[in-house]
Amino acid sequence: MKKKILVCGAGGFIGGHLVSDFIKDGSYEIVCVDIKPFEYWFQYFDEVKNYSLDLKEYDNCLKVTKNIDYIYNMACNMGGMGFITNNKAECMLSVLINTNLLRASLKNNIKRYFFSSSACVYNESIQKKTFIPGLKESDAYPADPVDGYGWEKLFSERMCRHFTEDYKLPTRVVRFHNIYGPKGTFDGGREKAPAALCRKVIYAKINSKKSIEIWGDGKQTRSFMYIDDCIRGVKQIFKSKFSDVFNLGSEEQVSINDMVDIIEEIGGYKVRKTYQLNKPQGVRGRSSDNSYVTKKIGWKTNFSLREGLEKTYRWIYDQMVSGSNIQKFTRK
């Protein structure tokens, strides 16, 4: 019989791509759950079992984990910097999802459990300069993560660790560094920088606008990982023998200004940058050090930022111009 996989947060960006990959693999029976109604899932597949349930509730966790072998927990309430800055309490409530899924895992004898953490767990005091050295896994302590969302992720990492130590539940934990790609959010308030900037440049090009708004001064830096690299890394780490916490991100650190320049080249359209210094900006600089995951797992990224942005730009462009009213994509 095929092993049964439960993907939590399957209606989200990463979760949807993970389910799609497992379907292509064909080796597993798949169960999907997300709090959103089905019509709002990023990707929905009829060939798997789907639930629309709130996993902050323990009874729902017990229901969906019954007869499951492996759990991939991608579920949380999050978005880009604007969202996590203005919704700290909502972000922290996601701790109930991981807590109740871990409790249900013990009750229903889950064989292995995956938790998706974030680079937002890293100590903010070492991210105050642009183009800082890549963050190592040990840099999360002493703890000073992003308020709200970062604290929830760091606490949940510890929860996984102690369930492994105390109850022998095999857990796998990764810290995602800014995952992007097609079939993700690019408008509405939860989008991240690559998708938001692609949308802004596309809107300007279509409407012959001369400028776009940039949150901050554009000199803040990040690294951004393409979704295909993310999914491959998730599966490799899950199958490994290690319960360590691993970075999963790109080491290609760029400024926001640099990323806009790349998007302009892809779209063949130049814009003037208008800086919004009162908007949420997050830490000044952040990048991933992948030396540990490469050493232990052998994982490395395959896609450059430009390659990933080309695919993302084309997808967003098609969404904005095909049967849509382009005027609705005017959010700043």
By annotation, the residues acting in catalysis are 149
Q: Give the integer Cα–Cα distance in Å for 101 and 8.
A: 9
**Three-class SS of 4-28:** EEEEECCCCHHHHHHHHHHHHHCCE
CB count within 10 Å of CB 266 equals 18
Are 85 and 44 contacting, i.e. CB atoms less than 8 angstroms apart?
no
* Distances 205 to 88, 114, 185, 209, 332 between C-alpha atoms, Å: 35, 41, 20, 6, 15
CA atoms within 13 A on the CB side of 273: 18
Q: What angle do CA 195, 196, 199 make, to 5 degrees?
A: 85
Nearest CA among 227, 313, 307 for reference residue 16 = 227
